[in-house]
Amino acid sequence: MSVDMILVKDIYVDPSRQREDKDVEDLLPSIKARGIIQPLVVEMSGGAFTLIAGERRLICAKQLKMTEVPARIFSSLKPVEKEIIELEENLHRKDLGWKELCLAICKIHENYRKLEPAWTKAQTAQQINYAEASTSSIIAVGEELLKGTNKEIASASGWTTAYNVIVRRNQRRADDVFNELMEEEKASPDPVSSVDTPTQHTPVNDNLVLDKQSIFCCDFREWIKEYKGPAFTFVHCDFPYGIDLDKSDQGGSATWGAYGDSEETYQLLLKTFTDNLDKLMAPYSHLMFWLSSDWEVIYNTICYLEQTTDLRINPKPLIWHKSDNRGILPDPKRGPRHVYETAIFASRGDRFIHQSVVDAYSAPAGEKSHQSEKAEPMLRHFFRMFVSEGTRFLDPTCGSGTSLCAAESLGAEALGLEIDPGNAELATARLRKQRNLARYGVKK
């Protein structure tokens, strides 16, 4: 290889070249003032020169009516070598987007491996003068972009964000493998058929259109005594808050029908959950737990969970703001109307999230069919952090079933319990409708 001055008119540009960006406005003033500092790359064959890299510099030379340009001259290049040279040249472009960068470096690495099967990512990093750790991460992102199956990676703001998506996904997969190994040791049967169910645990409706029955009419505290199935990777708890909503006119108990909402009921459900944590939550799993917005209740519950379990509780809560301003007005003479609800979330085994989302969501309560129904769009928003394809989901007090619909729409295998027969029937109908819509390609 040598660097020589060659005639512009002798350089042939193959019209099938990959590069389509012919804008040289940013480059022209520099070349006019200083000339071409970085040589073009050409291949010589039969006395003729074919351009390999440097088309924008060549365009500038022609516009400035230069007769000669500096060039590195190669001979007898393999097609893969030509592509490597062109891709490496393109890495120096100022306007190179992060996706183009990842795809280019990924292709460079792939081409070097074609020439030398033992070629490593460290060698690629050295060749393109990039840090080894960055190069390895960029190649991983490039490989995912080539697959074209991960929308979250494709819509990322940069390659580091995209790489974090890959890291979280791979760690969750590793966690799931560990969870499965632990379940195999327990030799557990199917989560639904594993329970030797008494009469009150029978399915709500035997005519579910698609898949297995997922909602059972039973008391969580009784169900867990007999449950022998696999633990869940995401548990969503929306226990009665223990604020006597059933005795409140503002709660609309006369309309919805009251359910027990005493502090004693809340404490019993909470203790049932913590006493049976190993049966409920896999070694690597997530918990989302709705609470009264009373800070004393939040503090006491968090302290209790930290003292009795191995859960790592996130210090920041999740907030649902009811954008239609529906809420409880405890004391119209002394305080405001409460139009938000709060949930804490926690991980077991330091499980990574699936996707990062904002920690507050504004959505109307809508036309509720249950006294404490959570808005499905809001649940789906927060569930994106925890749910991926194959997530095992449990809601032990599922009410009208919006949580199961949200979880299933994101790919979870969902199971819900509801003590009230009417609500359980309502939840089953809601879930059946969603599955039928999905059957015909209608997604929320």
What would the pLDDT profile of 284-323 be if each residue is shown by its tens digit? 999 999 998 888 888 999 999 999 999 999 999 999 999 8
Rounded to whole angstroms, the Cα distance separating 399 from 100 reads: 48
Which tokens is 300 given?
């006491």
Task: Let me know if residue 183 belongs to a domain.
Answer: no
Q: Are residues 167 and 213 in the same domain?
A: no
Pairing of strands 48-53, 11-12: parallel
Q: Measuring CA to CA, which residue among 101, 120, 102, 104 is closest to residue 112?
A: 120
Of 103 and 21, the structure prediction assigns the larger pLDDT to 103
pLDDT for the residue 2:
62
Of 23, 42, 77, the position where a domain reaches its end is 77
Q: DSSP states of 2-17 as a string? A: EEEEEEGGGEE--TT-
Residue 438 has pLDDT above 80, yes or no: no
15-19, 85-89, 157-161, 225-229, range with the lowest pLDDT: 15-19
Task: Let me know if residue 360 belongs to a domain.
Answer: yes
Q: Are residues 314 and 388 in the same domain?
A: yes
Q: Are residues 36 and 130 in the same domain?
A: no
Of 88 and 318, the structure prediction assigns the larger pLDDT to 318
Q: Are residues 117 and 23 in the same domain?
A: no
Range of the domain at 99: 82-176
Compute CA distances 380 → 257, 327, 330, 365, 374, whole Å. Answer: 27, 21, 29, 14, 10
Which pLDDT band, with edges at 50, 70 and 90, does 123 fall under? very high
142-146, 195-199, 312-316, range with the lowest pLDDT: 195-199
Of 23, 51, 77, the position where a domain reaches its end is 77
Which tokens is 339 given?
């139009």
Which contiguous run of DSSP H or E holds residue 346? strand 340-348
Task: Let me know if residue 444 belongs to a domain.
Answer: no
Q: Are residues 283 and 160 in the same domain?
A: no
Q: Are residues 134 and 55 in the same domain?
A: no
pLDDT for the residue 18:
53
Radius of gyration for the alpha carbons in the chain, expressed in angstroms and rounded: 31
The answer to whether the beta carbons of residues 54 and 38 sit under 8 Å apart is yes
Mean pLDDT of 113-139: 90
pLDDT for the residue 359:
96
Q: Per mean pLDDT, which of 180-184, 191-195, 340-344 is the most reliable?
A: 340-344
Q: Classify the phi-psi angles of 132: left when phi > 0, otherwise alpha if psi is within -120 to 50, otherwise beta.
A: alpha
231 three-class SS: coil
The answer to whether the beta carbons of residues 232 and 394 sit under 8 Å apart is yes
Task: Let me know if residue 223 belongs to a domain.
Answer: yes
268 three-class SS: helix
Rounded to whole angstroms, the Cα distance separating 208 from 230 reads: 23
Task: Let me know if residue 342 belongs to a domain.
Answer: yes
Task: Let me know if residue 182 belongs to a domain.
Answer: no
Q: Are residues 287 and 369 in the same domain?
A: yes
Over residues 28-52, the pLDDT tens digits come to: 888 888 888 888 888 887 778 888 8
pLDDT for the residue 241:
78
Over residues 241-275, the pLDDT tens digits come to: 755 554 555 444 444 344 566 889 899 999 999 99
Q: Are residues 220 and 169 in the same domain?
A: no
Residue 24 has pLDDT above 50, yes or no: yes
Of 327 and 221, the structure prediction assigns the larger pLDDT to 221
Which pLDDT band, with edges at 50, 70 and 90, does 194 fall under? very low
Q: Are residues 36 and 127 in the same domain?
A: no
Percentage of the chain beyond pLDDT 90 is 43
Which tokens is 207 given?
């005519």
Task: Let me know if residue 216 belongs to a domain.
Answer: yes
167-171, 206-210, 414-418, range with the lowest pLDDT: 206-210
Tallying the residues shown for the chain, one arrives at: 444
Q: DSSP states of 115-171 as a string? A: H-TT--HHHHHHHHT--HHHHHHHHHHHHHHHHT--HHHHT-SSHHHHHHHHHHHHH
Q: Are residues 251 and 209 in the same domain?
A: yes
Q: Are residues 417 and 345 in the same domain?
A: yes
Of 259 and 405, the structure prediction assigns the larger pLDDT to 405
178 three-class SS: helix
Of 108 and 440, the structure prediction assigns the larger pLDDT to 108
pLDDT for the residue 443:
65
Of 321 and 204, the structure prediction assigns the larger pLDDT to 321
Number of domains in the chain: 3
Compute CA distances 279 → 17, 98, 273, 342, 405, whole Å. Answer: 60, 45, 9, 26, 23
Over residues 349-375, the pLDDT tens digits come to: 999 999 999 999 999 876 555 567 899
CATH number at residue 17: 3.90.1530.10
Task: Let me know if residue 281 belongs to a domain.
Answer: yes
Rounded to whole angstroms, the Cα distance separating 283 from 180 reads: 10
Q: Where are the alpha helices (DSSP H) in 210-283?
A: 220-226, 253-256, 263-275, 277-280
pLDDT for the residue 215:
93
Q: Are residues 237 and 351 in the same domain?
A: yes
pLDDT for the residue 90:
73
CATH number at residue 414: 3.40.50.150
pLDDT for the residue 207:
45
Of 176, 208, 232, the position where a domain reaches its end is 176
Rounded to whole angstroms, the Cα distance separating 405 from 433 reads: 10
